[in-house]
Amino acid sequence: MKTRQNMLLAFTATASVLALTACGGGAGTTEDTSFSDSPTGALSAWGFDNADEVGTSRLDYAEKELSDIDIKIDATAFDAQKFTTRVASGNVPDVVQMDRQFVGTYAAQGLILPLDECFAAHGVKPDEQYYESVMDDVSWDDKVWAVPQFYQPPAIMLNKRVMDAAGVTSDQMDTSKPDVLLEAIGAMYKESGGNPSVIGFDSMGVNQAGLWMLGQGGKLMDDEGIPALDDPNNAKAIDYLKQLFNAQGGYAKYKSFTDSFDTFGDNNPYVADQVGAQVNAQWYVNVLTPYVDQVDIEAVPFKNADGEPFAVASGTSFVIPAGAKNADAACAWALNLTSEDAWMAAGEARAKTIEAEPGAINTGLFTGSPAADEAIRDKFVKESGNAGFDQTIGTFYDIVGEGESYGASPAGQEIQTELKNAVTSALLGDKTSEEALDDAQKAAMRAYDKAVQK
């Protein structure tokens, strides 16, 4: 039962992996596109794999609201190579769900339509409906290219058992104070046979490298979407991460140890006391709710170099491919799925799921829309009886408005790939931080130049 529940509740929130959970660049492909507030006809959608109750409830809501549209859904996962092939062949669905990191790339290549007129036709002001950081994810070349959904802010989740045993307090888990943080890590870190047995602080330094870089004043791209991986502050962030890993046996030993974690299972690192603290997205609270009697958690914000709470946006979005046969219906459908009423229907569905599971905790939904987030929190997120979980849930709600965007770029996905490669190489000692980032910048620029060439 626990395995089923933790996967069910985490599934929606893992915005980058769940469901509901050729051409030259430019907008020249969109001149004949028009949007109305009363679309009709057939609609084909793609990318909605493994939708849970939060997804299906919104699908049901949109279907009722758009009774004049015949909706057909291809419930297979989005595939980038398949998408470009389909657009080139002209065999495209009307709307596609994809990670927001792809949006800038496809916008620059003319593979998707700008949606400013879509929003206007339905009286939706995107800058008011969605978080600023979320909108920055899908805005490029002074246009909006997608309807966003979900926003998973990261924070530092604390294992109070490990911290208390080491005499470490919550205020020491401060990423803006390296010396204080390193001292706390040293107190919590343990080895067995020369290998880690307890990680004091799991920075998620490779998968969350962008968080650390932006938090240290760096950037992954400039305001125009041009790669900026060689920004000097990015190297400072990697050097900071090196310090954290070196204080805990080094990156290679850390990686070997954490790869063995039962992250979603009964022996997860908070149950097994394998971490003192860990950077996690909000969805991981859902994973731990079945183990409320076996863990002792709290949370503190990740802080930037200035000591301010800091987060970065992530999530999925809906795009309309160039050549869509019914862009009008696609626009209306995407906006209905992300409306406050649809999210409230999802909140109701999630609440019913939780009520059916004894002891389950409602951690809320993080939708990408501040109004929807607050409405769901006010109606469905109540005190659980566990002070640590309530404090953790509250921390994520406190920081969701503090987010920044990585930015939107024609080389968005390549920037993320090259970033991870660079950080891994530097942490393993194969290259200096500057060398690794310089190589990554060159590769990202090649991808950028290819994407924007006319």
pLDDT digits (tens, 9 = 90+) for 24-46: 333 334 445 789 999 999 999 99
Are 93 and 126 in contact by the 8 Å Cβ rule? The answer is no
- Mean of pLDDT values over 71-92: 91
User: Coil, strand or helix: which one is 13?
Assistant: helix
Count Cβ atoms below 10 Å from residue 291 Cβ, excluding itself: 18
Q: Model pTM?
A: 0.90
Judged on CB neighbours under 10 Å (0-12, 13-18, 19+), 429 is exposed
**DSSP secondary structure code for residue 102 in this structure:** G
What is the C-alpha separation between 150 and 133, in angstroms, rounded? 12
> In the structure, what pLDDT confidence band is assigned to residue 454 with cuts at 50, 70 and 90?
low
Q: Which two tokens stand for residue 251?
A: 């990156």
- Mean of pLDDT values over 341-357: 94
pLDDT number for residue 143: 96
pLDDT digits (tens, 9 = 90+) for 392-406: 999 999 999 888 999
